[in-house]
């Protein structure tokens, strides 16, 4: 008797292949930790087996140390979190001398360094320096943080021309895979995505936080020093999934899905919508084991549906059409 198509798929006794190739970065699974939520990696080592992660994206590094914004810096909202950290970090030199070596001693998991700056030259200097460092698998250009400029300043990621110029210039400074992190605070994210790819981006990560605001009604003033803060958490997931779907249909480079991922189902939504990999952010504050549990959940899902490789799911949503 001729076997049905589904019977040719993976046996439930065989482990599925969770590995993915993200613009040349070979990952054992598609689950990463998002920039700004996992410190420099070493802070979570007592709680999470770093070797079980697909990749680690460090908190954003700037050329010089930054103190960040005055407190309060975070505030819970329904299904989310407002934050205004302001990219507090130790600076490039300290990161290279202290933080990166310490992380590399703890794990062989690929490390992607997030870099941020106020001008092209700052990004160029960081890219040039990190390109020479052992243990760096790639760089993520954070051009979409909403918590470092005074209102009404625009983010780099909100201007197609700036995105192209910044990425093109930084691209010349490194041979490493270059990921560009995009903002949801735009009218059409696909236009920004295409500008980043035209400039030389090897992959895109989206989305960063959505700009929001909270007001202390007793004090009759904004809660945060800069008034505007970044909203993350489960409330963002439908927006993130939609934007990943749109961008994955608009560019030919891998897309990383970010926003509101707290369980395997959430991550699979992104992958089925076109993401090659996903990054867990705010969920880490609730449960540090979230990314590891998501990996286990993905494996169980593939076993249940007898699917051999997680990568098979990425192209599924590319065929979906709006009718």
Annotated active-site positions, please?
145
Query: For residues 149 and 84, what is the distance between their CA atoms, to the nearest angstrom?
Result: 11
CA-based end-to-end distance of the chain: 39
Tell me phi and psi for residue 276, to 5 degrees: -80, -35
The SS3 call for residue 181 is strand
Query: Which residues have CB under 8 Å from 220's CB, separation 6+?
Result: none
Query: For residues 41 and 271, what is the distance between their CA atoms, to the nearest angstrom?
Result: 24
Query: For residues 182 and 142, what is the distance between their CA atoms, to the nearest angstrom?
Result: 8
For 278, the token pair is 């996903």
In sequence order, the β-bridge partners of residue 115 are 61, 141
Query: For residues 230 and 216, what is the distance between their CA atoms, to the nearest angstrom?
Result: 17
H-helix or E-strand containing 113?
strand 111-115
Other beta carbons within 10 angstroms of residue 159's beta carbon come to 16
Name the burial class of residue 13, with classes exposed (0-12), middle (13-18) and buried (19+) by CB atoms within 10 angstroms of its CB: exposed
8-state DSSP, 17: B
For 43, the token pair is 């802070």
Query: For residues 247 and 188, what is the distance between their CA atoms, to the nearest angstrom?
Result: 10
- Please count the CA atoms within 13 angstroms of the CA of 141 that sit on its side-chain side: 38
């Amino acid at each position: 008797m001729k076997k049905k198509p589904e019977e040719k798929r993976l046996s439930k006794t065989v482990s599925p292949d969770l590995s993915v190739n993200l613009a040349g970065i070979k990952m054992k699974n598609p689950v990463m930790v998002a920039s700004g939520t996992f410190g420099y990696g070493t802070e979570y080592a007592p709680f999470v087996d770093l070797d079980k992660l697909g990749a680690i994206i460090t908190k954003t590094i700037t050329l010089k140390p930054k103190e960040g914004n005055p407190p309060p810096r975070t505030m819970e909202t329904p299904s989310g979190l407002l934050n205004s950290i302001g990219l507090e970090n130790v600076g490039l030199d300290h990161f290279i001398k202290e933080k990166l070596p310490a992380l590399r001693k703890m794990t062989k998991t690929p490390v992607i360094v997030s870099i941020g700056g106020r001008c092209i030259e700052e990004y160029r200097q960081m890219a040039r320096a990190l390109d020479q460092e052992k243990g760096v698998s790639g760089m993520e250009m954070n051009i979409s943080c909403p918590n470092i400029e005074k209102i009404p300043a625009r983010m780099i990621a909100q201007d197609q021309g700036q995105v192209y110029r910044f990425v093109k210039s930084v691209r010349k400074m490194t041979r490493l895979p270059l990921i560009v992190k995009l903002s949801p605070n735009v009218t059409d994210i696909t236009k920004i995505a295409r500008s980043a790819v035209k400039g030389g981006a090897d992959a895109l990560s989206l989305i960063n936080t959505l700009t929001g605001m909270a007001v202390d009604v007793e004090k009759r003033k904004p809660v945060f020093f800069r008034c505007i803060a970044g909203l993350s958490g489960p409330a963002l997931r439908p927006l993130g999934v939609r934007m990943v779907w749109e961008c994955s249909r608009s560019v030919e480079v891998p897309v990383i899905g970010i926003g509101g991922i707290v369980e395997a189902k959430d991550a699979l939504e992104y992958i089925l919508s076109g993401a090659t990999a996903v990054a867990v952010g705010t969920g880490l504050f609730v449960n540090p084991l979230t990314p590891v549990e998501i990996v286990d959940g993905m494996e169980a899902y593939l076993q249940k549906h007898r699917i051999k490789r997680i990568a098979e799911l990425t192209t599924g949503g590319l065929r979906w059409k709006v009718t």
